[in-house]
Structure 1
């Protein structure tokens, strides 16, 4: 598993990867869906129980997973900085999609509490040119996100 943390442009923001190693799978060249997890925490902290355990659950369902650690507990925790971090995280995943075997037609975002708010903001603002530019990106940097969720879908039908 590729487990790395990439710094994003926003202060104290990062993306942690839980990318399944294609060399340990019999489906070596199969691209996998991706789930970006946005933990809750009232924009004051990021809840651990809504981070790594959720990412690892999605790994067990065949997803590559990512944890967005958006800015909390400072001025950067205010709009638009957390959603700008999500824009930047999506661009990073899109940039590494071939290397990480990510199926860019199946990228999902989910969040809990404040993280659900970040995911919801993105769902409504994904095409906002001003925010894309403020994130330091151009529209072509971003993949098309398949959907969002503010809860877990456990079971065989979750992929």
Structure 2
């Protein structure tokens, strides 16, 4: 396997992605084009959680998928959106420009977002699949499509009381454009299938976020699978010792840790894996 960082750019803004590329297996006797996952880690738009980067990337690798981690824009002097959406579009475009020797199945690009990263992915599944909004937010200049999304304890609706973000100041730092405050409203007939999971006792992102997203997907008759685990804190990542913070057993959750096997089974059912 090859791991490599890349510098990409949109307009005058630079950002980084990190690739986890699978090698070909000589024993197969033929080459294989692998699906690829773009991971948007969480971190409340103030940092990129490493617990939701390489540990999850390697698990996806173990199922026969290339992975790219997107280090999207964080809160600074300018709002996160729409720049983060443009970064996603550029990343998809960049993947589509990769040579055949990289062995990517470009028809099986999966977007995976966790917590704040889930806001970006859920927004892209709505705004990024609407031709008028693609033009409005200047992402129509980038080529390439994606096939599905995976959302883990995602931020979807930033107007929910008692949920992230804590106040209007942070919401305005994330986006001054209210379009990005309720991403479920922009899901449409072109939006892609989604696998969504969360825990009922999530103390940071109220479960109404994922419920509203899934409800809108169902209303549009779009393929969706939802798993609400009975207990567990926010930010479980893998829910195993690999992503457990030292001395904090609350980051272990054997039942919720099954989300990744469920997600892979779902991708298999959707003909996006294997």
TM-score range, shorter chain: 0.7 to 0.9
Shift of 1:28: 4.7
1:111–1:118 Cα contact (<8 Å) kept = yes
TM-score normalised by L of structure 2:
0.51
Distance change in 2, residues 1:7/1:77 (3 Å)? farther
Structure 2, unmatched stretches of 5+, are 153-258, 268-272
How much does 1:35 deviate? 0.7
Higher mean C-alpha deviation, range 104-113 or range 1-10: 1-10
**Segment drifting more, 46-55 vs 65-74:** 65-74
- Determine which of 14, 23, 47 is the counterpart of 2:16: 14
Structure possessing the higher relative contact order (Cα contacts under 8 Å, 6 or more residues apart): 1
Contact kept? 1:12, 1:70, Cα under 8 Å: no
Report the CA distance shift for 1:25/1:37 in structure 2 as closer, same or farther (over 3 A): farther
User: Structure 1 residues 27 and 117, CA, compared in 2 at 3 Å: closer, same or farther?
Assistant: farther
Partner residue of 2:5?
5
SS at match of 2:39: strand
5+ residue gaps, structure 1: none
* Contact kept in structure 2, 1:97 and 1:103, CA below 8 Å: no
Higher alpha-carbon Rg = 2
Is this contact kept in 2: 1:12–1:71, CA < 8 A? no
The equivalent of 1:60 in structure 2 is 62
Q: Which residue number corresponds to residue 145 of structure 1? A: 146
Q: 1:23, CA displacement in angstroms? A: 5.4
SS of match in other structure, 1:90: helix
Q: Which range is displaced more, 25-34 or 82-91?
A: 25-34
